Chain A
Amino acid sequence: MKSGIINKTIYDVDKIRKDFPILESMIHGKPLCYLDNAATTQKPKSVIASDVNYYTHLNSNIHRGVHSLSEAATKAYEDARIRVQKFINASSEKEIIFTRGTTESINLVAQTLGRSILKEGDEIIISTMEHHSNIVPWQLIAAEKKAKIKIIPIIDKGDLILDEYRKLLSPKTKIVSVVYVSNSLGTINDVETIISLAHKQNIPVLLDAAQAVNHLPVDVQKLDCDFLAFSGHKLYGPTGIGVLYGKSHYLESMPPYQGGGDMISKVTFEETTFNSLPYKFEAGTSNIAGTIGLGAAIDYVNTIGINNIAAYEHKLLEYATEELLKINGLRIIGQSDNKCSLISFVLDNIHPHDVGTFLDFEGIAIRTGHHCTQPLMDRFGVPATSRASFGLYNTKYEVDILAAGIKKIIEVFK
């Protein structure tokens, strides 16, 4: 397989690929060409080993036992929290809440902050390019509180219209919740401007960073976001583990999300005192193995360096965009100048589902459908797109395989 684009001494993609056992798989007799990283990323050996190690040597419940295993598991779990804190540069590990994923993180904020501050007639601002997970939680709480949802529109290229956003902000706005990087378009939104405009009116901003943390360096203090949500499995970590970062003064003021063990400090049948941060929001036994696995994934990303990953993936995106645009009848949906490494496309007269099935027979895994962004599909007037999304282990050679596969489909459907 051809090697990377960047100088080998800096970015050795062949070596990196060896860290991911699944990349050796054969699909329909062809080597797996995994281009569905925006759905989930593959796991390096170190993350897989972390899971095995936990269940082999550490398994016990955390924060409760006085025995050695429980202490060791608690330490590993809390070490993972510190890794997350450093990874996104939060000022304290108390601001890192473990959840099941981005979806739960957003629901947590909607159900706690949303429920406590929203009143009839208040407004929540989201954007046209939100994933359903940053639409539906707000619809649920808005319906309950008779609040309204306002939508930041986008231009055809796939960028948010910030002048329209400015006009939407008003004393009625109580929360702004927007996607950092679009999972359907790849657009990297100008979240700094979004945040600073909201802060002028003291409105908290939540960033859905599910597609950001694996592609870009993210510094929550520099961004000054009030909340940031992401999932472990899109960051080369396990499924079922996610993070909610929140500024401590917000987290302190918010009521608990779920009640149960671990989130209390004292319980009587008359009254319960809640535990301090971050435990107030972590009811019940957590996904301990998954949390420790997320820590291992962050270690892995750090050994390569997120800046190196971002630079490499950007070159790959440029190459893929150039190659795909050479194909007659292929249109890219989402052509922002500021994009992460994914390409949504449609082919004249060929439905994305047919594209997905054909490419599968070439060993190529892509996502076809609406990508959980139906309002965005409506905005572009398409029922679905095909999406190739790249990760730190993808190569130019795989882009060539994709382009060849697409040309083959066009031939069959002629």
Chain B
Amino acid sequence: MDSELRELYQQVILDHNKSPRNFKKLENANFEAEGYNPLCGDRIDIFLVVEDDIIKDISFQGSGCAISKASASLMTHMLKGKSRKEAEELFVKFHDLITGKLGDNPSLDELGKLAVFAGVKEFPARVKCASLAWHTMHSALNKEEKVISTE
């Protein structure tokens, strides 16, 4: 496989695509939102249980490409136990990562496993795939009632 392509489709991403974590509906969710990417028809639902400003539980459902599914899966993995503020901050950092705003040698400590998405910056058309779950999470936490879109 081409190195740029391997960088995009890292094994972690392929694994999460095949067996997504937290792929279910949370019946007791107190925050939820639906995200939609009109370009490719990807649709995602994010469910959150937030208590005392802490994300106690988070899950997702929907259909999409490997990048969007793996991104949603890893996001739910990363955000469990984080405060709302920390979640929002991580979103900003993640978005900077995939749009190449962190430069060539970013410090990836805070990003943890999310660093596998560094390859997305070489594929501008796929930024929306990687960010759909995060936009939807943001929308859910801010209780925007409408279906949000990455457009």
> Which residues of A does B touch, CB under 8 Å?
28, 349-354, 357-358, 361, 368-370, 374, 377, 383-384, 412-413
Q: Is the CB of A354 within 8 A of B2?
A: no
Instruction: List B residues 36-62 near A (Cβ within 8 Å).
Output: 39-43
Nearest CB of B to A329, in Å: 14
- Residues of chain B within 8 A (CB-CB) of A353 are 40, 65, 67, 126, 129
* 15 A-B contact pairs sorted by A residue (CB < 8 Å): A28-B4, A352-B40, A352-B65, A354-B9, A354-B66, A354-B67, A357-B126, A368-B40, A369-B40, A377-B41, A383-B43, A383-B63, A384-B41, A412-B14, A413-B14
Cross-interface CB contact of B5 among A350, A358, A369, cutoff 8 Å: A358
CA distance A412 to B67 in the complex (A): 14
Query: Would you give the shortest CB distance from A288 to chain B, in whole angstroms?
Result: 34
Q: Do the beta carbons of B1 and A412 come within 8 Å of each other?
A: yes
Residue of B14, B42, B63, B123 touching A357 (CB-CB under 8 A): B123
Cα of A383 to Cα of B18 in the assembled complex, Å: 18
Report the minimal beta-carbon distance from A249 to chain B, rounded to whole angstroms.
Answer: 41
Interfacial chain B residues near A383, Cβ < 8 Å: 40-43, 63
Smallest CB-CB A-B distances: 4 pairs: A383-B41, A351-B65, A353-B65, A354-B66
**Complex CA distance for A156 and B30, rounded to whole angstroms:** 41
Interface-central residue, A349, A352, A353, A361, by most chain B CB under 10 Å = A353
Closest to B62 in A: A383
A-B contacts, CB under 8 A, total = 52
Determine whether the beta carbon of A351 is less than 8 Å from that of B9. no
Known: A353-B126, A357-B126. A384 touches B66 (CB 8 A): no
* B69 contacts across to A, CB distance below 8 A: 351
B8 beta carbon closer than 8 Å to chain A: yes
Residue of B nearest to A370 (CB): B41
Indicate if the CB atoms of A351 and B66 lie closer than 8 Å.
yes
CA distance A73 to B47 in the complex (A): 63
Cα A337 to Cα B40 in complex, Å, equals 28
CB distance from A232 to the nearest CB of B (A): 26
Interface positions of B from 64 to 117, Cβ below 8 Å from A: 64-67, 69
Residue of B nearest to A360 (CB): B5
CA distance A352 to B63 in the complex (A): 12
* Interfacial chain A residues near B65, Cβ < 8 Å: 351-354
Complex CA distance for A290 and B4, rounded to whole angstroms:
38
Q: Using an 8 Å CB-CB cutoff, how does the interface string of B1-41 with A read, 1 for contact, 0 for none?
A: 11011001100001001100000000000000000000111
Residue in A350, A357, A358, A384 with the greatest tally of chain B CB atoms within 10 Å: A357
Give me the interface of B with A, judged by CB distance under 8 Å.
1-2, 4-5, 8-9, 14, 17-18, 39-43, 63-67, 69, 123, 126, 129
Q: Which residues does chain B contribute within 8 Å of A413, judged by CB atoms?
A: 14, 17-18, 66
Which residues of chain A are near B41, meaning CB under 8 Å?
369-370, 374, 377, 383-384
Are B66 and A369 in touch, CB under 8 angstroms? no
Query: Please, which residues of chain B bring their CB within 8 A of the CB of A412?
Result: 1, 9, 14
Q: Note all chain B residues with C-beta closer than 8 A to A377.
A: 41
Docked pose: A377 CA to B65 CA in angstroms: 16
B5 lies within 8 A of A361 (CB): yes
Most buried by B among A354, A358, A361, A374: A354
Distance from B42 Cβ to chain A, minimum over Cβ atoms (Å): 7
Residues of A within 8 A of B64 (CB): 351
CA distance A374 to B37 in the complex (A): 13
Once bound together, how far apart are the Cα atoms of A361 and B69, in whole Å? 21
Residues of chain B within 8 A (CB-CB) of A369 are 39-41
- Which residue of the partner chain, among A28, A349, A350, A352, contacts B2 with CB atoms under 8 Å? A28
Distance, CA A369 to CA B129, complexed state (A): 13
| Alpha-carbon separation in the docked complex, A383 to B123 (Å) | 21
Q: Which residues of B contact A368 (CB under 8 A)?
A: 40
> For residue A357, which residues in chain B have a CB less than 8 angstroms away from its CB?
5, 8, 123, 126
| Cα A354 to Cα B18 with chains together (Å) | 13
In the complex, the chain A residue whose C-beta lies closest to that of B128 is A353
User: What CA separation (Å) do A370 and B123 show in the bound complex?
Assistant: 20
11 extra interchain contacts, Cβ-Cβ under 8 A, other than A351-B64, A383-B42? A351-B40, A352-B40, A353-B40, A357-B5, A368-B40, A374-B41, A383-B40, A383-B41, A384-B41, A412-B1, A412-B9
- Chain A min CB distance to B3 (Å): 10
A28 to chain B: which residues have CB within 8 Å?
A: 2, 4
Chain A residues with CB below 8 A from B17, complex form: 413
In the assembly, what is the distance between CA of A349 and CA of B126, in Å? 18
Other-chain residue from B2, B14, B67 in contact with A361 (beta carbon distance below 8 A): B2
Residues of B within 8 A of A351 (CB): 40, 63-66, 69
> Which of B5, B65, B123 neighbours the largest number of chain A CB atoms within 10 Å of its CB?
B65
User: In the complex, what's the smallest C-beta–C-beta distance from A392 to chain B, in angstroms?
Assistant: 28
Q: How far is the CA of A361 from the CA of B64 in the complex (A)?
A: 21
B14, B39, B41, B126, most chain A CB atoms within 10 A: B41
